[in-house]
Amino acid sequence: MKKNRRKLFSGNRKVLFALLAMFLSLSAFAQQLTVSGQVVDIQQEPIIGASILEKGTTNGVITDLDGNFTLKVKPNATLVISYVGYQTKEVKAAAQLRVVLNEDTELLDEVVVIGYGAVKRKDVTTAISTVSTKDIDQRPIVSAAQAIQGKAAGISVTQPNGAPGAGMSIRVRGTTSMNGSNDPLYVVDGVPMTDINFLAANDIESMQILKDASSAAIYGSRAANGVIMITTKQGAKGEAKIAFNSHVGITQVNNKIESLHTAQYKELMDEIGMVSLPDGLTDQTDWFDETYRTGVTQNYQLSISNGNDKWKYFLSGGYTDESGVIKTAFYKRYNFRANVENQVRSWLNIAANVAYSDYTSNGIIDGQGANRGGVVLSVINTPRYAPVWDEQHPDRYNTNFYGVNITSPLENMARSENNKANKNRLIATGKAEITFLPELKFKSSFTIDREYGNVTSFLDPQKTSWGRNQYGEAYDERTLGTVLVFDNILTYTRQVGKHNFDVMAGASWTDSDWSKSYINGSHFLNGDIQTINAANKISWNGTGTIGSQWAIMSYIGRFAYNYDSKYLLTVNMRADGSSKLNPDHRWGYFPSASAAWRISSEEFMKDVEWINDLKLRGGFGQTGNQSGLGDYAYLMRYNINRVWWGTPETEHALPSITQANLRNKDLTWETTTQSNIGLDFTVLDNRLTFYLDYYYKKTTDMLMYVSLPAGQAASDIVRNEGKMVNKGFEFSVSSKNLVGQFAWGTDFNISFNKNKLTYLALTPAYYDGKTSDVVNEKVVRNVAGRPLGGFYGYISDGVNPETGELIYRDLNGDTKISTSDRTYIGDPNPDFTFGMTNTFSYKGFNLSILLQGSYGNDIFNASRMETEGMYDGKNQSTRVLSRWRIPGQITDVPKSGFDMKNSSYFIEDGSYLRVKDISLSYNFSGRLLKRWGITRLQPYFTASNLLTWTNYSGMDPEVNQWGNSGSVQGIDWGTYPQSKSFVFGLNVEF
């Protein structure tokens, strides 16, 4: 009986438990609320991938392709809706919701990358500019440096040469060195480098520019010219994403300079009297059409990314191809990147970044006269009556110019058509971060940066006159450089109430090993085999090998403190030891300090509601420079002189050695000391943000190559020679003019910089910038008390109506014109540079217009010496049709054969305003795209360099034949011009 009752009780208990479980389940179900809704932006466009999280829990989802979501939550729950770039919103849970997210115009919580770390924008105490990267995939950008132009105050970015793949000239707050490098230091994913041609712009996530010494001093000896911090894209938690970006476009020359047709040319030659031309010549060739073409640019980039709580990855690959507007010029690049990160343990995070690129280019001969291979000038200088090919030798270019020393642009292009410059670059970084405590972390990274370069050239022995003269030439140069970087950084962060501490200490080691081999050959049978093995003669002195090494050891530290983000202080210190400098002066110490006061957080500002943020900043620090020095600059070096062994007397001859330079035991760092004061100001509900900065930079112990007086054992020495000052003012403003369905935003920046060379110790004046062989004088003179790069020559007071000669001003009053009458005639340094971007959006349409320009800079147009000089048999531009011909004629163009000098006659205003980019795009959306799994479909059209307003008469005002030189700027001498482009592109993500 008891047994039966036990069985009955047992069975009832099971039923009871089952009923209880069902009741509890129903009870729990009854306590849950199913929320359905949509998340949209202020234009009512769905936001894909927005996060919806039940506050205080880990319960959450993300929105789908239509911005929709469904989530079960507790009754009376609060939902937290967030998405990158939008303000986070909290709403009360309801069965149906439609949530509108506003764009995040509050920049104070933006994370800014700084040296060996990151900080929120609101806690920045130094001068740092952030370059927007959100429109990079809608612009035809090949070089990452192009993304900076016109985008940041205090940063002058010019493209001095328009050749495909040509580098950019970047100056951060002016020119700081005369002979050394003025390029900023690039830090890509924490790795310092000086060249970023390998980097595809589409791989960039963020760019910050450390402008003042208090921000850049953490990079010490390499930061005198500013630091550009670049972070590449990483994988993100969520669904896998595939992105494809492509564009195809055409490029055309902006400006055409017309040359004289044959009848006009003959009339000029008759006046000059140096060339006797037969009658009956007519135009046969338009050399502009033969030389220039419509270039084509192509770019294709594909990336795949994904991630979760433990790991994330970003993979990308791409191909870029540019054919220039001059027929032989091109640039091609293949790039690949892999960024991988894994949280191996709660205390251990590892990551690897690998980037590989292969890029090849070919340019033209420029910066030379037409008779020396200069292509751009020969387009104008070659008479139109001449045919392209020699009628007697159809495989040769025509050289019959009736005794005039001219080579046509096609022949000049043929001299470099077989040239190639190829580079392969591999940058691989391994990182590990150990978290000892939540506040204490140790990060170690090791990087190998290996670059292989191969430069080859071949000159056909038959096609060109120079090739026939040399019996053909070939050159092969191979370089291999390996840079190793080993960083170890320990950081400690702690918050005690409103007190915040951030301490960093570490060490960095850099080692470089570089080698080059080169060989020259000549005397080729024909042009069929273009390698050195087909040469019958190997150059005696043009063949050899070179190698060098250098290293830097560094110790770094930083202490940052802020109280409630109201009172902020940052102190940096770096010590660098360089093998390039004498052991007694090898170590340089570069301190900096900066502080900030958030005035808007004070009690007395609490009722000023229209001010959102007001912060006063100030800083001081020192940075160094050793760039431009040879790897053994302080040592005495020697030249090896080979002795010909082809005679019985010299059969066993040995090379001789001669001294190349003097040793300098006192050689030390070039140091730049900079102070900065700034104001950050945000008002009107974060609609307007202002940044103002004033800086003063003084460079001392400038590294310079000094020529010694004749009779010395060696002709030059590297020494710390001079001093220079840059001071200026920067202003930038970001404005949200209209918000809503139709949005309009403006970003404007303007920079004023004054440069002065204040002291030279040994040599009182440095001359540079020689152009025309006829004038045979240098036009740049650098002396203490003047801005760098000043143009020096004669003042021209116009054309004498009676003689047709240029009137040169007699400055010393001795009634004759001599070299003592020369003075400063121009300044290539602008009064200010500026950039403005306006962005408009309406529904799916987006329009961006970038204006960029310069004001107050002069250009020495040396090209006009060749195209308006009228001194020999070269053809000239149509401007000489206004030349003086009869006594009493009033004109601003002198007579043919006038006395030509470096003078203000060739100085022109280089100011310009340029429509740099106009981009129009449209974002498609709809159920069909959702069905195909496409989250972004955005075609776009971009026009670059569309319009330029300038008084400059040359082909392009943004020019400098001396490229990135610090001492010579603003000279146009047959320089490859920039071009305008029209590009169609497509961005797809799924």
User: Whole-model pTM?
Assistant: 0.87
Judged against a pLDDT cut of 80, whether residue 900 lies above it is answered with yes
- pLDDT over threshold 90, residue 616: yes
| Tokens read off for 719 | 């020494």
User: What is the H or E stretch that residue 289 is in?
Assistant: helix 287-291
What would the pLDDT profile of 405-450 be if each residue is shown by its tens digit? 889 999 999 999 999 999 999 999 999 999 999 999 999 999 999 9
Q: How many CB atoms lie within 10 A of CB 418?
A: 16
Pairing of β 535-538 and β 499-524: antiparallel
Looking at residue 11, its pLDDT comes to 47
The label of the residue with tokens 């004749």 reads 710
Are residues 213 and 620 in contact, defined by beta-carbon separation less than 8 angstroms? yes
pLDDT of residue 856: 96
Of 155, 160, 221, nearest to 789 by C-alpha is: 160
Q: Tell me the mean pLDDT in the region 107-117.
A: 75
Q: Tell me: the pLDDT tens digits for 696-705?
A: 999 999 988 8
Burial class of 561 by CB neighbour count within 10 A (0 to 12, 13 to 18, 19+): middle
Query: Does position 666 have pLDDT exceeding 90, yes or no?
Result: no
Q: What is the helix (H) or strand (E) element at residue 38, kind and residue range?
A: strand 33-41
Lowest mean pLDDT among 22-26, 178-182, 294-298, 645-649: 22-26
Is pLDDT above 70 for 27?
A: no
The predicted model gives 671-680 an average pLDDT of 94
pLDDT at 315 over 90: yes
Distance CA 897, CA 805 (A): 9
Q: Is 786 helix (H, G, I), strand (E, B) or coil?
A: strand
**How far, in Å, are 426, 459, 757, 966, 969 from residue 787 at the CA level?**
40, 42, 6, 11, 11
Whole-angstrom distance, CA of residue 123 vs CA of residue 111: 10
Average pLDDT score over residue span 289-302: 94
User: What's the gap between Cα 282 and its chain centre?
Assistant: 47
User: Are 559 and 573 within 8 A, CB to CB?
Assistant: no
Task: Output Rg (C-alpha) for the chain, integer angstroms.
Answer: 33
Q: How far is CA 231 from CA 127, 315, 841, in A?
A: 19, 15, 27
pLDDT tops 80 at residue 104: no
- What digits encode the pLDDT tens for the residues 491-536? 999 999 999 999 999 999 999 999 999 999 999 999 999 999 999 9
Cα(926)–Cα(594) distance, integer angstroms: 51
| CA distance linking residue 402 with residue 405, whole number of Å | 9
Nearest residue to 381 (alpha-carbon basis) of 409, 342, 348: 409
Residue 832: φ, ψ to 5°: -160, 160
Tokens standing for 979?
């071009």
Instruction: Characterize the bridge pairing of strands 33-41 and 96-101.
Output: parallel
Mean pLDDT of the region 330-359: 95
Contact 173/726 with Cβ under 8 angstroms? yes
Q: Which residue has the higher pLDDT, 107 or 467?
A: 467
pLDDT at 328 over 70: yes
d(CA 642, CA 365): 30
In whole angstroms, give the CA distance from residue 390 to residue 396: 6
858 forms beta bridges with: 909
Mean pLDDT of the chain: 89
| Distance, CA of 548 to CA of 810 (rounded, Å) | 52
Nearest CA to 726 out of 699, 697, 702 is that of 697
Neighbours of 687 (CB within 10 A): 16
Query: Dihedral of CA 804/810/813/816: which sign?
Result: negative
Least confident piece of the model among 113-127, 784-798, 823-837: 113-127
CA distances from 729 to 173, 216, 522, 827 (A): 9, 18, 56, 19
Alpha-carbon distances, residue 687 vs 107, 612, 617, 877 (angstroms): 11, 10, 21, 52
Query: Tens digit of pLDDT for each residue in 911-934?
Result: 999 999 999 999 987 777 777 888
Residue 9: strand, helix, or coil: helix
CA dist 779 and 971 (Å) reads: 9
**Lowest pLDDT segment from 513-517, 650-654, 879-883:** 650-654
Q: Where residue 108 falls among pLDDT bands split at 50, 70, 90?
A: low
pLDDT for res 928: 73
Closest CA to 386 of 283, 290, 288, 292: 283
Q: Taking residues 975-982, report their average pLDDT.
A: 90
pLDDT tens for 44-99 read 778 877 888 888 776 888 887 678 889 988 888 889 898 766 778 888 888 888 89
pLDDT in tens, 303-314: 999 988 889 999
Compute how many other C-beta atoms are within 10 angstroms of the C-beta atom of residue 710: 6
pLDDT tens sequence across 557-589: 999 999 998 999 999 999 999 999 888 889 999
Whether 25 has a pLDDT exceeding 50, the answer reads no
Collapsing DSSP to helix, strand or coil, 612 comes out as strand
**What is the reported pLDDT for 6?**
41
Is residue 726 predicted with pLDDT exceeding 90? Answer: yes
Share of the chain above pLDDT 70, in %: 95
DSSP H or E run through 150: none
H-only helix segments in 117-256: 213-216
Identify the bridge partners of residue 940 per DSSP, sorted by sequence position: 921, 985
Structure tokens at 307: 């991630």
Write down the pLDDT at residue 713: 56
Pairing of β 778-783 and β 169-172: unpaired
279, two tokens: 């009658």
pLDDT, tens only, 361-404? 998 888 888 888 899 999 999 999 999 999 889 889 999 999 88
Asked if the model's pLDDT at residue 462 lies above 60, the reply is: yes
The DSSP H or E segment spanning 271 is: helix 262-272
Residue corresponding to tokens 């509890």: 24
pLDDT: which is higher, 710 or 773: 773
Q: Which two tokens stand for residue 442?
A: 């140790």
The predicted pLDDT at position 177 comes to 85
Q: How far is CA 13 from CA 1, 3, 6, 20, in A?
A: 18, 15, 10, 10
In the numeric block, the tokens 């340029």 are attached to 914
pLDDT of residue 366: 87
Q: What are phi and psi of 868, to 5 degrees?
A: -135, 5
The string of DSSP letters for 420-481 reads EEEEEEEEEEEEEEEEEETTEEEEEEEEEEEEEEEEEEEE-TTTSHHHHHHT-EEEEEEEEE
